[in-house]
């Protein structure tokens, strides 16, 4: 996991401004505390800050084999061993990131569709060409700006200087860009397939596919942990990790956060004890929640209230986790695949629900995935999301929608729970869902302290220039914090919820 910056400027025969590139890289240095590198390749400048996870000794970037192609990569390629066997490229390191470079120089850019993982990368070729790529779900962030003939890329919005921010856009997930062809989709989110024929086959397939997805994401040369809220999704990830603990160096660590006595903390303790995990907690109070808000808003680069509320416990949890491990698995994506949210129950038509679930998965890069990436990378921590494995996303699309509705007990994600019968105590396996901000106790704190953030006489007449009208005093407070860090960013860059 890393931070990347790239500048492609065909107008400059000696290459783009290294000074500009370095200043952008300085602003995302928190994403890579273990190393820093840069290289100019013809009209392209590449910069990289590294969080060392795989091939600790030889995985520094920019990466470049003997034939003159160079890359900066943010993310993990989980099938890099298989890709090495079929590639004709000379590999100079054991880094998984070099598989991304191999796909980009293979001669057929359609081979990018073979990459499994979470990634955003830019490759510079020796003949002056280049390519930028982002994974189909947008698990890893990438932004770009086209200014005066130059094209600039970076992992976070903050990398762009204030005078450039009016030009910044989100680079779309599942697309590649070259100067010659522009934007081209290289892979659809769903690739289709025959519907699953019976419920028991669906349960077996869900269980086997999630187990494989978790094991893929345990790939590391450093200790690995799990964010454990005590809810179904993170508890299932933890259960699989505990069953395959020999796959990683050292013990499996679990991490939970919340206010004293909150339901998440209590449930997480029970899960960790049942699974034999090495458990850690971050207990915080109302004052800590309020005091960290400016840092949280700056980290997630968003002012959407529900995102901020859930990001606060995640931010404090990541801070605690980074003291022990560099890699953590999370439960993001399960609710969108298996209809876990309460509002899905209001959709009575199956086709409408299927459309809404697809919309939910497709929009995660502006919501939960953005939060997950930013709060962890703010502390030099890599988060991995096994529920959003390509195979599991495709499998969920093949499961008839009626099997993803609440079961006889009215419980959400019944099929997923049934698939893992016996992996957790029954009361934990069937624990009702709570939003992370609710289960951790943070939502209650925010409700209590919202009036302190924006006094009543201030709320009625104030608005942040360039941002949509705030819906609440709480949102106005977050908008102000956002503007302090990212003045000039067009709100449309933040996705549909920022402009509602």
- What residues are designated binding site for L-glutamine? 96
Compute φ and ψ for 461, nearest 5 degrees: -120, 0
- 385, 387, 393, 395 alpha-carbon torsion, rounded to 10°: 150
- The bridge status of strand 253-259 relative to strand 224-227 is parallel
Compute φ and ψ for 182, nearest 5 degrees: 75, -150
Q: Which residues are catalytic?
A: 2
Q: Round to whole Å and give the CA distance between 322 and 73.
A: 21
Q: Round to whole Å and give the CA distance between 498 and 494.
A: 6
Q: Round to whole Å and give the CA distance between 394 and 210.
A: 12
471 CB neighbour count, 10 Å cutoff: 10
Q: Round to whole Å and give the CA distance between 442 and 316.
A: 11
End-to-end CA distance of the chain: 32
**Which among 98, 146, 94 is positioned nearest to 121, based on CA atoms?**
98
**Which among 177, 198, 175 is positioned nearest to 188, based on CA atoms?**
175
Please report where in the chains the tokens 């800590």 appear, as a residue: 288
∠ CA 304-308-312 to the nearest 5 degrees? 175
The torsion region of residue 174 among left (phi > 0), alpha (psi -120 to 50) and beta comes to: left
Compute φ and ψ for 369, nearest 5 degrees: -70, -35
Q: Name the binding residues.
A: 96
Edge to edge, the sheet with strand 70-77 lists 70-77, 117-124, 130-134, 175-178, 182-185
CB burial of 348-359 (b: ≥16 within 10 Å; e: otherwise) equals eeeeebbebbbe
Q: Round to whole Å and give the CA distance between 37 and 62.
A: 6
| Contact between residue 117 and residue 135 where contact means Cβ atoms under 8 Å apart | yes
Residue 14 makes CB contacts below 8 A (sequence gap 6+) with none
What are the residue ranges of helices labelled H in 286-413?
286-300, 305-321, 334-338, 350-362, 368-377, 390-398
**Which among 417, 251, 270, 448 is positioned nearest to 334, based on CA atoms?**
417
Q: Copy the structure tokens of residue 36.
A: 């820093």
């Amino acid at each position: 996991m890393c931070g990347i910056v790239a500048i492609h400027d065909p107008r400059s025969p000696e290459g783009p401004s290294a000074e500009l590139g370095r200043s952008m890289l300085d602003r995302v240095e928190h994403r890579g505390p273990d190393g820093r590198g840069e290289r100019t390749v013809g009209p392209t400048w590449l910069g990289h800050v590294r969080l060392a996870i795989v091939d600790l000794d030889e995985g520094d970037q920019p990466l470049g084999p003997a034939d003159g192609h160079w890359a900066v990569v943010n993310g993990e390629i989980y099938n890099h061993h298989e890709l090495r066997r079929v590639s004709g490229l000379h590999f100079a390191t054991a880094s998984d990131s070099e598989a991304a470079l191999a796909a980009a120089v293979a001669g057929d850019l359609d081979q990018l569709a073979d990459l499994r993982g979470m990634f955003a990368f830019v490759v510079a070729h020796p003949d002056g060409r280049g390519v930028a790529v982002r994974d189909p779900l947008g698990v890893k962030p990438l932004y770009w700006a086209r200014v005066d003939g130059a094209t600039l890329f970076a992992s976070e919005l903050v990398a762009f200087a204030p005078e450039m921010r009016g030009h910044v856009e989100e680079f779309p997930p599942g697309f590649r860009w070259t100067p010659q062809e522009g934007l081209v989709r290289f892979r659809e989110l769903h690739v289709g397939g025959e519907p699953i024929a019976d419920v028991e086959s669906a349960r077996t397939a869900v269980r086997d596919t999630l187990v494989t997805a978790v094991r893929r994401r345990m790939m590391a040369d450093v200790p690995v942990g799990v964010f454990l809220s005590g809810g179904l999704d993170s508890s299932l990830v933890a259960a699989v990790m505990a069953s395959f603990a020999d796959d990683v160096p050292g013990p499996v660590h679990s991490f939970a956060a919340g206010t004293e006595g909150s339901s998440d903390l209590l449930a997480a303790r029970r899960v960790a004890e049942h699974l034999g995990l090495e458990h850690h907690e971050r207990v915080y109070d109302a004052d800590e929640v309020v005091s960290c808000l400016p840092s949280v808003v700056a980290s997630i680069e968003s002012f959407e209230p529900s995102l901020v509320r859930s990001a606060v416990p995640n931010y404090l949890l990541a801070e605690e986790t980074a003291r022990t491990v560099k890699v953590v698995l999370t439960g993001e994506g399960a609710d969108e695949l298996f209809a876990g949210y309460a509002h899905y129950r209001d959709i009575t038509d199956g086709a409408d629900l299927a459309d809404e679930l697809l919309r939910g998965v497709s929009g995660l890069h502006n919501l939960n995935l953005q939060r997950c990436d930013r709060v962890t990378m703010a502390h030099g921590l890599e988060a991995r999301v096994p529920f959003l494995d390509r195979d599991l996303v495709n499998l969920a699309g093949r499961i008839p929608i009626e099997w993803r509705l609440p079961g006889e007990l009215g419980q959400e994600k019944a099929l997923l729970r049934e698939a893992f019968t016996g992996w957790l105590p029954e009361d934990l396996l069937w624990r009702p869902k709570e939003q992370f901000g609710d289960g951790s106790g943070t939502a209650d704190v925010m409700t209590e302290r919202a009036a302190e953030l924006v006094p009543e006489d201030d709320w009625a007449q104030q608005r942040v220039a360039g941002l949509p009208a705030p819906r609440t005093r709480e949102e106005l407070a977050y908008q102000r914090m956002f503007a302090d860090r990212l003045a000039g960013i067009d709100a449309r860059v933040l996705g549909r919820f920022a402009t509602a």
